[in-house]
Amino acid sequence: MSVEISAKGLTLGHGGDPVAQDIDLSLTPGEVTALVGPNGSGKSTLLRALARLHTPDSGAIVLDGRDLDAYKPRELARKLSFLTQSPLIPAGVTVRELVAYGRHPHQGVLARSTSEEDREAVGWALDATRLHPLADRPLDQLSGGERQRAWIAMALAQRTGLLLLDEPTTFLDIRYQIEVLRLVRKLADEHGITVAVVLHELNQAAAYADSMAVLADGRIVARGTPAEALTVDTIKAAFGIDTTVTQDPHTGVPTCLPTWREPEPAPAAP
Ligand SMILES: Nc1ncnc2c1ncn2[C@@H]1O[C@H](COP(=O)(O)OP(=O)(O)OP(=O)(O)O)[C@@H](O)[C@H]1O
């Protein structure tokens, strides 16, 4: 089920100067890749380019051996699903109805009824996100965390081998952040789904991703396992802050602790 995608020599812009340049990025099939970096460093633009929602100024993106541009829309929607930051909430739509939208790429143009396969996929997505008890509630009556899980469930019902998630943990409390990230981990480990996820929390990225790409000023400044990518030097280069990087005593993954306060000035000599 894993899908392979790689970008080579990408330049991305919004009409003016490029916001990302010289981007080479391959996502390892069946693994979770975290994209991290400061605000405005180009993470969302890059993710949108991988989803063909943003046209690169130059460079190429290859999905399962074919140029991304060669795919017909429905074909592409069966390969990859993309979850944007803060999607708009459709009025009156229930969780189950939203999740069922994820099945559209698999239904015929004239399809009026859902197939057994559709029902099974919706049920699986509701199970995976533990949303069965809320399935008949309107989306606008859910908490932010519940709603976020519903959007993820919709992306899952699409049953693609590549999932692109833009800040899926925003607005969630720590418990739901962990829940969403454990789910992402499970999708890769148990279902072989290739995942790229934009995250702001560096320690969460290190804890849940197999590899990380650190962006700064539109360039990838570090790429590798969390231990390779999350170092004092790369954090300083990308974010301009001082940190101490240690190892999580339980998992061994790197954990960074920012230097929260300026050091106290040394007392004046008497
Ligand atoms: N639609 C747009 N039109 C013009 N400029 C844009 C547009 N979208 C993004 N930009 C600019 O492109 C640059 C990269 O933005 P992008 O959203 O990719 O960064 P990001 O790393 O995802 O940021 P954040 O962490 O704040 O979400 C920023 O300077 C931003 O202002």
Q: What is the pLDDT of residues 59-79, one digit of tens each?
A: 999 999 999 999 999 999 999
Q: Which of 23, 25, 43, 201 to mutate to test the pocket of ligand 1 (most atoms within 8 A of CB)?
A: 43
What is this structure's pTM?
0.91
Whether 89 has a pLDDT exceeding 80, the answer reads no
Ligand 1 midpoint to CA 233 (Å): 24
pLDDT at 244: 96
Ligand 1 atom at minimum distance from 15 CA = 4
Ligand 1 midpoint to CA 115 (Å): 40
CATH code assigned to 5-258:
3.40.50.300
Listed by start position, the domains of the chain span 5-258
Torsion of CA 196, 19, 87, 192, to 10 degrees: -10
Copy the structure tokens of residue 138. Answer: 């309107």
Q: What is the pLDDT of residues 158-195, one digit of tens each?
A: 999 999 999 999 878 898 899 889 989 999 999 899 99
Strands in 162-166's sheet, in edge-to-edge order, are: 80-83, 162-166, 194-198, 32-36, 211-216, 219-224
Q: Is the CB of 41 under 6 A from ligand 1?
A: yes
